[in-house]
A and B are shown apart, each in its own frame.
Chain A
Amino acid sequence: MTNVVGQAISWDLNEGVIEVALHRSPCNEIGSESLEDLEQLAAALPTLEEHAHALIIYSKLDCGFCAGADLRELYSRSQQMAKADAASGVRAFLERIHHVMNTIDASPLTTIAVVHGICFGGGFELTLACDLIIADKTARFCFPELRLGLIPGFGGIPRLKRDLGNAVVRDLLLTGRSFNATKAQQIGLVSQVVADGQALRVARATAAQLAKFDRNTSAAAKKFIKPIPYDELSREIDIFCELFERPAVEAGLKKFVESTDAQPYLP
């Protein structure tokens, strides 16, 4: 299907460009609903790819690109299960989301993440599966997972390590600090920084440029320069699951979910 409207994510194919829109309130948190839509997209990609040269993923919400994993759903589901079941449920969720991320990462299309506002945790990890990130000046990136006693679990560390120097990765990961689009461009993460509200337009212009090139050549170049670190991605799931079983994580999630503090997103 070339035009799908999901509960959390929709997409359409138009003139060789697949545009994927995130639209789940409050800020595109990735839970089971978003995952199901993403899986549907991943399943549809091989067919869509036959008629496309680029994929753009963006958010329709004012808050930003994506605030990350749906921690409220994660916490409430884990509370309804025995500990062992919760751990296996988390592993199953991670394996499913990794399959989606790997599918996007390995797509022969040139993929562009369009970022404005908040781009945290799992949302940041989704952008890292893409080939290019175009951000407007409101964009803010962060891996806040360590304050919950976790590491990023949607493939973020291996992909960030693939793209950036290890010292930069350590800084972003171990401090959990957020950083703006200018910094993201300085460290080589973001390819273009544009004025507020202009990122999608620029991404479309970039996609139009890509259409001038032979599709198979672009796909070959991408495959050559962007290897997928499958072993490290698999190891990331193991480490996440080991950490998830500790009581400190449950306490951290509880604190976040029940917080009435005005600053829950500040690490």
Chain B
Amino acid sequence: MPDQRETLEEILDLAATQFKVSRSNLSPDDDFFKTLRIDSLQALSLLTRLEQHFNIELPDYEMQGVSDFRTLAERIQARL
């Protein structure tokens, strides 16, 4: 099982790939809505990709109010 730092790195890699941004432009405390320039529908597509990658189910209400990668990693880690 990855530790939280590894989970965070994997999330950043996945987000960079999915939304075609440079990985070096993403930081753990970024607001991913702003940094990735995504809306809630695109955030749901990221959630779908993360669920598949980590083989978890993450109800989207756990994402409510979450906008930075670090907190997202905590939510995912709690399901691993």
Chain B 20-50, CB within 8 Å of chain A: the 1/0 string? 0000000000000100001111011101100
Measured CB to CB, the closest approach of chain B to A122, in angstroms, equals 16
Closest residue to A262 on the B side, CB-wise?
B33
Known A-B contacts A177-B59, A266-B60; the reply to A140 vs B43 at CB < 8 A is no
Which of B41, B59, B61 lies in contact with A265, CB distance below 8 A?
A: B41
Q: Which of A179-187, A199-207, A221-229 contacts B (4 or more CB under 8 A)?
A: A179-187
- A178-B39 contact, Cβ under 8 Å, with A137-B52, A138-B45, A140-B45: no
The answer to whether B45 and A117 touch across the interface, beta carbons within 8 angstroms, is yes
The 4 closest A-B pairs by CB, nearest first: A265-B40, A262-B33, A177-B59, A263-B40
Q: Given known contacts A67-B41, A178-B47, A263-B33, what 20 new A-B pairs fall within 8 Å (CB)?
A: A117-B41, A138-B48, A139-B48, A140-B44, A140-B48, A142-B60, A178-B60, A179-B57, A182-B51, A262-B38, A262-B67, A263-B40, A264-B40, A265-B44, A266-B40, A266-B43, A266-B63, A266-B64, A267-B60, A267-B64
Give the interface of B toward A (CB within 8 A).
33, 38-41, 43-45, 47-48, 51-52, 57, 59-61, 63-64, 67
